[in-house]
Amino acid sequence: MKRIVKRLLFSLVPLAVVFGGAEAGLRAVGWPSVDSADFAHNQVYWTADPNMDGQAMPHRETGDSFTVSTDANGVRVPHHTVEKPAGKKRVMALGCSTTFGWGVDDAKSYPARLETRLRAKGYKNWQVINGGQPGYTTFQGLWFWDRTLYKYQPDIVLIGYIVQDARKAAYSDKSQAVLQADDRFLKRHVLYKLKTYMGLRALIGGIQIKAKERPNGDIGGVFRVPPQDYAQNLRAIVQRVRDIGATPVLFGYPLEREGYTAEHRRILQAAADELHVAHFDPQPQMDAASRRETLYFVKDRGHANAMGNDLIAKWVLEYLEKQGLLGSEG
């Protein structure tokens, strides 16, 4: 037996030498070289500033400003203690700047309007937590959930990541985390610290070194979260929500038009079917409603105005009631 073990160990020596040499060589030449100017964001994980109290935020496209208030975790109004009070129930809305309520004052984001509507209909014990953060995809959402959001003890979680996941960039969010050697990512994915592993993943497309260029020289871009990663991230978030005993709802946050989000919306529906999760996508309703009324900023079609946010809150409340997720309190 000892002889077999020795032979096995001896046979691994050449492999170790080759692997070690490759690792040392790649590190010596500094592969891959990265132009950080091509990153969509300076870093891969961030949150809104904590403890803002009615701070005026400039809306560059419209030229106006809007007020933002956050708690100690950078979570926007409605403000509630992290620990859920006895007898209270909570809906948490996850998403990007559209959920955060970019362009509208604190009380006019869709999560804030949802809480107001809940109380008006008699759901006095329900609170709403605005878990939206500007620029977020499912990639950042997983990190923020693990770091902070689960502590708010939600009962229902609206998983509304889609708008930013479907956007194009020179690098995917995961690729940026790897190429920047962000320790918050690498601690959870130790193999990415090895240059040889990164090289193999790059060869098979697991790491996007840079988006391929189109024939005219323009960068075509890749999804910030490619379809396969999007599906995987949705599975992970759904499982985390279920792990704390909450009910997940995959929410296709509506834009003025479906547009570039079409593929990710199909994945959202497929994920709901696979995971047996409630799924609500009011995009067809918004397509129709926004043709009749101005529900998005004229100079910023990616964000709903106050009327649009209120309409989304109305639809969400109607869906939660129809699914029986709020109980019989109202």
**CATH code of the domain in which 163 resides:** 3.40.50.1110
Kindly give, in sequence order, each residue whose CB lies less than 8 Å from that of residue 174, ignoring residues fewer than 6 positions away.
139, 185, 207, 225, 229
Contact indicator for 284, 276 with CB cutoff of 8 Å: no
pLDDT of res. 122: 97
Residue 258 lies in a domain: yes
d(CA 225, CA 162): 9
DSSP state of 36: G
98 domain residue, yes or no: yes
In order of 30, 83, 189, 198, the CA distances from 27 in angstroms are 5, 46, 19, 11
Judged by phi (left if over 0) then psi (alpha if -120 to 50, else beta), residue 205 lies in left
| Triad 327, 328, 329: Cα angle to 5° | 100
CA dist., res. 114 & res. 108, Å (int): 9
Tens digit of pLDDT per residue, the chain (330 long)? 656 545 554 554 453 444 444 444 444 545 555 556 677 788 999 999 999 999 999 999 999 999 999 999 999 999 999 999 999 999 999 999 999 999 999 999 999 999 999 999 999 999 999 999 999 999 999 999 999 999 999 999 999 999 999 999 988 998 888 887 767 776 665 444 445 555 545 544 565 655 554 444 444 689 999 999 999 999 999 999 999 999 999 999 999 999 999 999 999 999 999 999 999 999 999 999 999 999 999 999 999 999 999 999 999 999 999 999 999 776
4 found inside a domain: no
Residue 253 is assigned to a structural domain of this protein: yes
Q: Is residue 41 part of a domain?
A: no
181 inside domain: no
Which alpha helices (DSSP H) does the chain contain, by range?
2-29, 97-100, 110-120, 138-147, 173-179, 183-186, 195-203, 227-243, 262-275, 283-292, 306-322
- Whole-angstrom CA distances from 260 to 23, 156, 172, 257, 264 are 40, 28, 16, 9, 9
Q: What is the pTM of this model?
A: 0.84
Q: Is 197 part of any domain?
A: no
Does residue 329 lie in a domain region? no
Tell me, what's the pLDDT at 287?
98
Write down the pLDDT at residue 193. Answer: 46
Measured distance CA(285)–CA(270) in Å, rounded: 20
Q: Three-state DSSP class for 251?
A: strand
Give the other-Cβ count within 10 Å of 34's Cβ.
18
The vertex-308 CA angle with 285 and 51, nearest 5°, equals 135
How do 64-68 and 55-59 pair as beta strands? antiparallel
Domain count for the chain, please give it. Answer: 1
Range of the domain at 127: 55-167+224-322
If one counts every other C-beta atom within 10 angstroms of the C-beta of residue 213, the result is 11
